[in-house]
Amino acid sequence: MRRHEWVPLEVIIKKSKLPEKDVLYRLKRLNKFGFINRSIYGYAVSFAGYDALAINALYKKGILKAIGNKLGVGKEGDVYLVLLNNDKETVLKFHKHGKTCFTRGKRYREYLADKHHISWLYVSRLSAETEYKILNELFPLVKIPEPIAWNRHAIILGKVNGEELKRIDLSKFMSKEEINNLFWNIFEEIKKAYKIGYIHGDLSEFNILFDGEDFVIIDWPQAIYKEHPEADFYLKRDIENLVRYFKKYKINLPSVDELIQKIKE
């Protein structure tokens, strides 16, 4: 699929080194399971098929033992609770670009300038790889999920307790002073990430999990390096989102520009 959007049957027969009738039999079964799609041009792996390949690889490596409930369906992918071979409960996040929304996928076009067709498969894999690499650079210095493993478009992350800030009304159980402290603690993490070199790029109340005491900043695939030409734009947007959320609780905060100044100093 690196070369074709739809892989012609002849190519599959050649690559598989199997007789045509065996290839047809297997393709039919894969199609029945929903692991591949078919068109007049040939065959293509489906998201379910790509999921199965990643799960199989993580299982064979002796990392993954069992898959549990779906935790959330995010903008770009699905997150499941999983059990590792060492009995640790963690999460498996599948990156799925091009499934429902392509806006973030656009950001990958610069990597793909030399490719004729932008395959969702390639973009999803690249996105998972990028998030895994960035998490490795930031963990454990910044409060983010622990990166555990990566295969294709899937990454395994430490399980974080709590819910998205979006779904919590802080004023119900926290004083203004405590909410103010929470803001500054989150701000401190953004500052640390910036010092290491990264701007989150999609920071909002959807990507901060909070359990009533502690928080973790999730969802880093679109993070950009601070030397990126558009870095200031994304940093400003992140800070604006954070300030907008906390302003709801009527706490006193410096201006966005002052906060950006503090991050850069």
Ligand X SMILES: Nc1ncnc2c1ncn2[C@@H]1O[C@H](COP(=O)(O)OP(=O)(O)O)[C@@H](O)[C@H]1O
Catalytic residues: 202
127 binds Mg ion (CB under 5 A): no
Binding positions for ligand X, 131-150, rule CB under 6 A = 145
Helices 176-196 + 120-138 axis angle, to 10? 100
Using CB under 6 A as the binding criterion, the count of chain residues that bind ligand X stands at 17
45 binds ligand X (CB under 6 A): no
Contact 249, 171 (CB under 8 A): yes
The closest alpha carbon to 243, from 191, 187, 200, 192, belongs to 187
> Which one of residues 207, 215, 217, 239 is an interface residue with Mg ion (CB under 5 A)?
207
Residue nearest to ligand X (CB): 74
The least CB distance from residue 183 to ligand X, in Å, is 20
* 159's tokens: 């399980």
Spell out, one character per residue from 92 to 131, where the chain touches ligand X: x when CB under 6 A holds, - when not: -x--------------------------------------
Length of the chain: 265
Partner touching 154 among Mg ion, ligand X, none, CB below 5 to 8 Å by kind: none
Q: How many C-beta neighbours within 10 Å does residue 256 have?
A: 17
> Which one of residues 54, 218, 223, 239 is an interface residue with ligand X (CB under 6 A)?
218
219 binds Mg ion (CB under 5 A): yes
> Which one of residues 42, 49, 77, 105 is an interface residue with ligand X (CB under 6 A)?
77
208 binds ligand X (CB under 6 A): no
* 26/75 with CB nearer ligand X: 75
CA dihedral (49, 51, 54, 59) in degrees, to 10, reads: -100
* 190/260 with CB nearer ligand X: 190
How far is it between the farthest Cα atoms of the chain? 72
* 27/218 with CB nearer ligand X: 218
DSSP symbol at 146: P
Sign of the alpha-carbon torsion through 25, 26, 27, 29: positive
Tell me how far apart the alpha carbons of residues 155 and 61 are, in angstroms, rounded to a whole number: 14
Contact 242, 253 (CB under 8 A): no
Q: Which residues bind Mg ion (CB under 5 A)?
A: 74, 207, 219
